[in-house]
Amino acid sequence: MKTNFTLNSKKLLLAIVTSFFITLSSKSVAQTITSTTSGGLWSSASTWIGGVVPTSTNDVVINGTVFINNSVSCRNITINAGDTLVDYNTSAVLTVLGNITNNGVVGRNVSNYYNEIDVKGNIENNGIWKPYKTTLSGVSMQFLQQSAGKRFEGVWAITDTNSFVKLNSNVVFGGNENFDLNNDTLHTNGYNLQVDEMGFYDGTIISDDTIYIKNKTKIWSYVSFIGNIKLTGVFNYSDGNVFIGTLTNQDTLINRVSNVLTIKGNIINNGYVLRDPSDYSNVIDVKGNIENNGIWKPYKT
């Protein structure tokens, strides 16, 4: 009787284990959901091969033009080359719990709706990136990577105060918008950061590399720069900016309001340190040494 009980127990255990692995295997197969080449609304079953609308547990592949018509989520998502992910006449949010790889277009409808891509993992952009807003909401390290000749556009924000964002390639931001660092940190990680008409504010940038700035109208405010940074381009600054380390200015430093630019280290000027032509008074407060090889005309040093 004892032997039969043991044998039956083993059979039951084997059946449970087998069932578990069959279920696990089934879930793995169903993990990735791919759109049809004809695309359609995200919420429509006909948009997806197999007729299943993706949820937060699914990886997604965009293989056509898919319209986000309500707030949705997925795990990881890849947009294939030549394909498009865009909002559909609504202010919807796509939450990506993992990583997003864009080889096509992540865009915004031509209407005035405000779509948002909320990413908790990493972003790799090899295509066109133009949603209204990109949010980085991971609770740990997030990486930004970009192919040569590409750029990130739209409004950007970091929303989790535990976030730490690192570049994983040279990166270009542009589009005449702003990047809210939200008291978090962007680390260039040995790569170059280029900013075309975008203002950064409220946070920290760590870099021992070159930051290229092509700003004529956008301003930077309350940003702490840590490291030995070389600035190339026109740096329009407002209140609260601090450089901790040696700042090498290759082009133009100019204030946009009456303020103090603090340099807790040395400054090497190979370009222009100027006062706003609207007669706003600016102060350059230098804790270290000044080497001037260019034009030095702030209101006060």
Residue 300: the pLDDT is 94
Does the reported pTM lie above 0.75? yes
Cβ burial of 282 (10 Å; 0-12, 13-18, 19+) is buried
| pLDDT classification of 257: cutoffs 50, 70, 90 | confident
Residue 45: φ, ψ to 5° = -60, -30
pLDDT at 162: 66
Q: What are 164-205's pLDDT values in tens digits?
A: 899 999 999 998 889 999 999 999 999 999 999 899 999 999
Exposed, middle or buried: residue 130 (CB in 10 Å: 0-12, 13-18, 19+)? middle
Percentage of residues in the chain having pLDDT higher than 90: 73
Q: How confident is the model at residue 214 (pLDDT cuts 50, 70, 90)?
A: confident
Whole-number pLDDT of residue 133: 96
Rounded-to-integer distance, Cα 78 and Cα 97, Å: 13
Specify the higher pLDDT residue, 262 or 112: 262
| Confidence tier at 217 by pLDDT (50, 70, 90) | low
Confidence of residue 278 (pLDDT cuts 50, 70, 90): confident
pLDDT higher than 80, residue 25: no
